[in-house]
Structure 1
Amino acid sequence: MPVLLAQHRTAAKDAESLAAAMKAEDEGHLHEAESILASLAAKYPESFEISASLGEIYAEEGNYAQAAPLLEKAVKLRPSSAPVLANLGAVYLKLDRNEDAVRVLRRAALLDPKNPATQSNYGLALMQMKHPAEAAKAFATAASVKAPDDDLLYNWSLALYDSGQYDEAGEVLSRASNLGTSAAAQSLMGDICEKQKNYKDAGEHYVAAVKLDPSEQNIYTAGIEFLRHWTFDPAIQYFQFGVKHYPASKRMLLALGIAHYSNNEFAKAAPIFAQLLNSDPDDEFVASLLGHDCSLMPDDSPGCSSLVDFAQRHTKNAPVATYAAASILHRPSDQQDLALANQLLQQAIAADPKFPESYYQLGVLKQQKKDWQASLAPLQRAIALRPAYSQAHYRLALAYSHTGQHEKAQAEIGLQQKYSQQEKDDLNARFRQVTTFLVSKN
């Protein structure tokens, strides 16, 4: 009898403690409630109320790793509890356990479809799992239950945007009260307008985002928008601003270099590409950009010297070896190392015997040595590989003229004139290719 009486008194005392913990939690005294519940959990590990309550407190305190096993236990004890499922799903989201979050929140939403917080979290979990169309439906359900706040409208709009429903995304986002004051909302509206082909509006929204929050991402996005539509001067201004304020941003510096390059400002682009190549000496894309840039300048640029070192270390890269040789040939005659240029061109031809620019530059080298006869063969080979090679036709005309073959020289001049416009078009296509590459990475 005494033992049974003691057990009864203990149970009654624990019930009072549980009630006190619940009261403390309701009043916001989480630490007090946590202390009581933790003690009770040790004595009653299979109690649904204790596990659920203590798990919820840990979640509110941000101790998600401690909250998860307690909420999982509570769900196991009572699988039909929508609130606990919702809490567990929210914790999984915080722990980046997105697949688990979708699974649990789907169950919670089925059990309690009119709970806007559950539907909203379900939408967030679906977004993390790259299911934007389903997420948009969840957000729409949340918005139908309760007047949506700005965060819900933004998430709903983003889900619609990611699922390709651009008009609907714009309509939803336009309802946000903070559209004019939120940089994130302005940036998303810019994305929406871009997809709707409202390019002027898109640019204005991106600019507004920068004014509200001059973050690296917002500056870069605005610059890319101008670059995308070949409005190079404002693009350069934004990227210059970005480089000044975010000097460690390599993508900003690369974008600035490409903007200068696409704007035919080759002398300004070369030092930027050289700086990037020096920071990553094995970056073949940047080396190629620097090579293209240097090949388009009539004179040598200090930045172009980086090509030689790169080419000597990457012997299988025919284009860069060719551009490196061309950069040597662009130097003043007293600074040219023709033996090194010849070595690089032979290296390029060995790496890729079908790259016409290597033969063209070899012909130029022979002509700079006044060996007009020897320049004929490489120039003829360059034209055989690329018949519309305007510059090669011009150089071949010079070779024919200096070797007394005047009729052939006149014929080559005619071909040079015929293909010169096509060569300009090819160059513009190259600019577009480089610009498109950068834009596609955004």
Structure 2
Amino acid sequence: MFRGRLLRRPPFSFSGGSECLCFLIPAIRHAKMLTVYPTLSSKMSGTMTFSERKKFIELKGLLSLLLLTLLASVGHSQQTETGSISGRINDPSGIAVPGAKVSLLREGETVPVATATTGPNGSYTLSQVSPGKYLLTAEHAGFLKSNPANIEVAPRKDAGFDLTLARDPSPGGASATNDSRAAQGAGTPQYYEKQRLKPADFTGAVDPGGYSAAGQAERTGRLLEGAAQLKKNPTTDPSIVSRGPSVAESKALAEMELNLKKAVESEPQSFETNHSIGEFYIHVGKLAEAIPYLEKAYALNPSDYVNAYDLALADFETQNYAAARQQIRSMLQRQDKAELHNLLAEVEEKSGNYLEAANQYELAAHMEPSEKNIFDWGLELLRHQTLEPAIEVFRHGVERYPSSAKTWIGYGTALYSRGIYDEAVKAFSQATDVNPSDPRPYLFLAQVYSVSRVEARDVTEHLHRFAQLQPRNPQALYSYALALWKGERGQNAQADSSQIESLLKSAAELDPRYPDVHLQLGILYAERKDYPQAIEEYQRAIKLSPELADAHYRLAQACVRTGEKDRAQEEFGIYERLHKQQLAETEKRRAEVKQFVYNLEEGPRP
């Protein structure tokens, strides 16, 4: 069904009475069997990612909504015209106050009919306001709430109105600082209030805990890649995605497409018909075919936010970054919104404009310090090894959203990359406690089981819980085995070799194509000096993953022990080749990382 802002208006709007329903009847007969993709515009609701919009949901709800909204529109072709209010919130010296809450109330009422938050330049816009007389107020932490201002909204007109917020004279109020810009980004890390990203004069800089040590580089890279994957929502059932539409479903969708095309042919200059067929193509994953119709709808009504946003997002997903950038910047001129800055940041990141991407993520987080915006900003800094700022951003994120597992994971990854291992392990452990049944945080914790002697026992306990909760998960058994075996070394803990072997064998049975399990079994047997058994396991690991350098090295060592010197020399040679390749790839990644630094001498952007 339609979600998010698409619910605010009917997707079709005809004035021809009940006969306009006829073209939907054939499709409605198939409603129980049809599936389509959710709408892109649901991104604005904050509940879905773009990848989820490509996944199938039942079309019954969609068609029911089309029918209901269409019926509701019959006899109501003349809709109430609305107006808008826009302006700027300043302090007494005329400096903009970003992050202020603007509320619009009817006279005699206490519940606002509309609210807005000011952008970085202090501007706000209240759209689609019904004509009438209202009271307008503004408020911000550190300032006194403004007195209600009388304002009248007329149809199809914008009522411009600026408000001034007086500083709060109480201790800790805005007057406590000489810089009224300290109000900027309320709720965001104060450490960054007066900082601005600039390109560093170097690339590939060495940091103490991440890429400075070759032994940690690969692990740091895996953590970063894992954190980046958390931007996607993994809750969707993959079986729904993979099956595709049935023959009957495809036939019904084709019939619906034909009817929508007929509607466009009948009313080619109708915003609703062009927008609706554009959304249909988005639903079925045909983004390139959706764009021309969304563009036509945009030309007919450029002020429609949903259509404009979906057009920008479709351009982005079809890798037309120049068009997406132009579309988003055009929208920002009309309405300065955090989600637009966030989307523009994604466009700039994909275009290789990393500095601008980081600055746009920062703007979005200051304007709207949501879980997503804070995470995205911190991740962008982390991707480019700007570690100290990333730590501060994520630290603020977990303080504000203590129940966000992905924010704790981002915080742990930033700490680990900086070499602050004990705190990193604590952060990953905290992530597992948010929702103990979620396997993802455990997989991050499992990668750092051996880096903290202080937290070793706690890590083992958490991974034990993982194995208990998911006894059929090979990664859970493997992770717990390694924590038992290696995580508590140096803690006077006596690992049960038979228990570790049993856990690893169970993991291998659950997933026969898990090379790391066979590598660790080989190492376990080698510690027992059972070299023939160790060689067998190393060979299994290499068969599953020929590029697993450590398996070749361990196999070479075992061959030395069994007197197979020629084979050992061959395996050492393979290891050297693979090891050099890995070092070269690591060095290349370091050189390609675009570094940022914060200039502490410049103030924030306007």
* TM-score (structure 1 length as normaliser): 0.57
Partners of 1:66 and 1:283 lie apart in 2 by 38
The answer to which structure, 1 or 2, has the higher relative contact order (CA under 8 A, 6+ apart) is 2
The answer to whether 1:347 aligns with 2:503 is: yes
Pick the aligned partner of 1:238 from 393, 409, 424: 393
Pick the aligned partner of 1:293 from 445, 448, 455: 448
Deviation at 1:208, TM superposition (A): 1.2
Q: Which residue of 1 aligns with 2:226?
A: none
Partners of 2:470 and 2:328 lie apart in 1 by 51
Letter in 1 for 2:488: R
User: CA, structure 1 residues 381+112, in 2 after alignment: closer, same or farther (shift >3 Å)?
Assistant: closer
Residue pair 1:360, 1:392 contacting (<8 A) in 2 also:
no
Deviation at 1:112, TM superposition (A): 2.9
| Deviations 1:138-190, CA, capped at 9 Å, x for gaps | 233244446x3373544432332233322122223333353782212212222
**Gaps spanning 5+ residues in structure 2: where?**
1-14, 21-64, 79-252, 543-547, 591-606
Deviation at 1:136, TM superposition (A): 2.5
Q: Which residue of 1 aligns with 2:342?
A: 187
User: Helix, strand or coil for the counterpart of 1:176?
Assistant: helix
Pick the aligned partner of 2:458 from 293, 297, 302: 302
1:231-380 paired onto structure 2 within 5 Å:
231-261=386-416, 265-297=420-452, 300-311=456-467, 320-328=476-484, 329-331=486-488, 335-339=492-496, 341-349=497-505, 351-352=507-508, 355-359=517-521, 362=524, 374=529
Report the count of equivalent residues: 340
**Gaps spanning 5+ residues in structure 1: where?**
1-46, 53-62, 76-82, 85-97, 367-373, 433-442
User: Helix, strand or coil for the counterpart of 2:336?
Assistant: coil
Q: Which residue of 1 aligns with 2:32?
A: none
Residue pair 1:114, 1:145 contacting (<8 A) in 2 also:
yes
Identity of aligned residues (%): 20
Q: Which structure has the highest helix share of the two?
A: 1
Q: Which structure has the highest strand share of the two?
A: 2
Instruction: Out of 375-384 and 193-202, give the one that drifted further.
Output: 375-384
Q: Which residue of 1 aligns with 2:303?
A: 149
Partners of 2:357 and 2:465 lie apart in 1 by 43
* TM-score (structure 2 length as normaliser): 0.44
Partners of 2:279 and 2:353 lie apart in 1 by 28
- Report the RMSD for the aligned CA atoms in angstroms: 5.2
Deviation at 1:294, TM superposition (A): 0.5
| Deviations 1:329-360, CA, capped at 9 Å, x for gaps | 44366641333x43122331354296344335
Pick the aligned partner of 2:324 from 169, 172, 181: 169
Partners of 1:208 and 1:101 lie apart in 2 by 42
Deviation at 1:287, TM superposition (A): 3.2
Structure ID, larger Rg = 1
Partners of 2:421 and 2:585 lie apart in 1 by 13
Partners of 2:585 and 2:468 lie apart in 1 by 27
Residue pair 2:381, 2:389 contacting (<8 A) in 1 also:
yes
User: CA, structure 1 residues 67+189, in 2 after alignment: closer, same or farther (shift >3 Å)?
Assistant: closer
Partners of 1:99 and 1:236 lie apart in 2 by 51
Residue pair 2:274, 2:294 contacting (<8 A) in 1 also:
yes
1:8-157 paired onto structure 2 within 5 Å:
68-69=70-71, 106-116=261-271, 118-120=273-275, 122-124=277-279, 126-145=281-300, 148-149=302-303, 151=305, 153-157=308-312
Deviation at 1:121, TM superposition (A): 5.1
1:377-388 paired onto structure 2 within 5 Å:
384=539
Deviation at 1:276, TM superposition (A): 3.6
Deviation at 1:102, TM superposition (A): 7.0
